[in-house]
């Protein structure tokens, strides 16, 4: 069916924008995550790290992040670490950072030299652990900010995506205005895309728990992907990837058959990012989501009515794109109109069964006049002709009893308006 083909094409292709998957057989470059048409700038030099040029003369940021509350868990944790000799120490943090840089560069050279994956991935993981230790030794500092980002990079290239995402998330939560935010979000987007695709190809289940595969979370891979997509658009709603993440979130819900959540995500994209290049595709997918979420004429019809309004707006707003997909969209519009006609037929038959012929004729006539292009129009027209000479209302049952009862008096007004005012 053309509609199904169009929807499958949109869901599987949109939001990737060059980042099809994170493959294990990456050959040419260290950086391989491409998002929204731009390759994330994370290719690391074999001779020096891009964060090695940062000056760490200052120990703490001024004005960028306030010191934690003395009674907070973070402050209490720092106090305990200080008591054990592991408190904030700029010299120790810089030493650990330099050591991590050295191990990271060794892993880069090993990978470029074509050595075994187990060798350089182990070095990348070791570098990531050292970067995290450096971040712990000097919280609220430039070293912590760069260490968290580099830890994410190290784990990313070690294919330890869950740890990489944790490092990037911690960076963004603590330093929301960081110069590294765009690059961290691009990495997280690539990871979430990979998790979403992995869940579709090799799904985990509610009762499974991952102990060995570093590429995916411990459990609920698809849920983690959706959470990351949602966080990207909430953490940086004006960022480069905000609309891409919103679309990808909708696609992830759609694949999971959570059609109402998918429709809400596509609607968020339409309203929050009216200039997005994904607007046409998001509208088509929202229509399809609302159509699939619709339960039938006996249930609420707001979704199918909204799908119909969106289809009308789509034709008016995107005439060229609609023309390119004319056949598939005509089928989609016909399906929507059929469901709308079925709602009217459901009400018509309801009144018909109760012999309330005037109301039944009204709904049958509505189908004939408004939905003449549907297959239900013929049935409605035939039944309308049969009811033409039938009485408007059914005969009164137990008429003798009704006549014996006292007639209700006309309702009297609460206040007599004829009484002159004082």
Q: What is the pLDDT of residues 164-180, one digit of tens each?
A: 999 999 999 999 888 99
Output the pLDDT for position 305: 96
Q: Choose the most confident range, by mean pLDDT, from 87-91, 284-288, 396-400, 411-415.
A: 284-288
Say whether pLDDT at 388 is over 80: yes
**Does the predicted model carry a pTM greater than 0.85?**
no
Average confidence (pLDDT) over 68-76: 69
In this prediction, residue 146 has a pLDDT band, given cuts at 50, 70 and 90, of very high
More confident residue, 42 or 262: 262
In this prediction, residue 74 has a pLDDT band, given cuts at 50, 70 and 90, of low
Mean pLDDT, the chain, whole residue set: 83
**Gyration radius of the chain's alpha carbons:** 32
In this prediction, residue 64 has a pLDDT band, given cuts at 50, 70 and 90, of very low
The percentage of the chain sitting over the pLDDT mark of 70, rounded to a whole number, equals: 77
Q: Domain locations in the chain?
A: 329-402
Q: What is the pLDDT of residues 204-222, one digit of tens each?
A: 877 888 888 899 999 999 9
């Amino acid at each position: 069916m053309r509609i199904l083909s169009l929807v499958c094409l949109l869901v599987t292709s949109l939001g990737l924008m060059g980042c099809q998957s994170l493959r294990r057989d990456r050959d040419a470059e260290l950086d391989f995550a491409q998002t929204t048409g731009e390759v994330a700038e994370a290719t690391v030099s074999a001779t020096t790290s891009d964060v090695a040029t940062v000056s760490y003369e200052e120990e703490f940021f001024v004005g960028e992040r306030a010191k934690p509350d003395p009674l907070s868990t973070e402050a209490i944790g720092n106090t305990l670490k200080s008591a054990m000799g592991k408190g904030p120490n700029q010299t120790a943090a810089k030493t650990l950072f330099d050591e991590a840089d050295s191990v990271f560069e060794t892993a880069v050279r090993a990978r470029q030299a074509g050595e075994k994956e187990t060798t350089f991935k182990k070095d990348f993981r070791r570098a990531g652990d050292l970067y995290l230790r450096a971040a712990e030794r000097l919280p609220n500092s430039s070293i912590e900010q760069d260490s968290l980002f580099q830890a994410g990079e190290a784990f990313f290239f070690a294919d330890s995506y869950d740890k990489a995402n944790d490092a990037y998330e911690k960076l963004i939560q603590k330093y929301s205005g960081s110069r590294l935010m765009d690059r961290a979000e691009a990495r997280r987007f690539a990871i979430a895309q990979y998790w979403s695709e992995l869940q579709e190809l090799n799904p985990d289940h509610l009762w499974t728990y991952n102990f060995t595969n570093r590429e995916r979370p411990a459990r609920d891979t698809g849920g983690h992907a959706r959470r990351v997509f949602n966080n990207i658009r909430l953490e940086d709603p004006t960022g480069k990837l905000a609309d891409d993440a919103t679309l990808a979130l909708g696609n992830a819900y759609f694949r999971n058959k959570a059609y109402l959540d998918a429709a809400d995500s596509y609607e968020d994209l339409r309203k929050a990012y009216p200039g997005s290049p994904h607007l046409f595709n998001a509208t088509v997918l929202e229509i399809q989501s609302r159509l699939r979420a619709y339960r039938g004429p006996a249930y609420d019809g707001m979704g199918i009515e909204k799908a119909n309004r969106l289809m009308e707006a789509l034709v008016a707003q995107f005439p060229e794109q609609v023309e390119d997909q004319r056949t598939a969209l005509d089928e989609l519009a016909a399906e929507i109109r059929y469901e709308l006609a079925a709602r009217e037929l459901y009400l018509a038959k309801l009144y018909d069964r109760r012999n309330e012929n005037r109301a039944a004729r009204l709904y049958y006539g509505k189908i004939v006049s408004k939905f003449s292009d549907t297959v239900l129009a013929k049935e409605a027209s035939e039944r309308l002709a049969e009811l033409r000479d039938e009485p408007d209302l059914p005969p009164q049952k137990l008429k003798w009893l009704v006549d014996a009862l006292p007639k209700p008096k006309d309702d009297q007004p609460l206040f007599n308006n004829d009484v002159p005012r004082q």
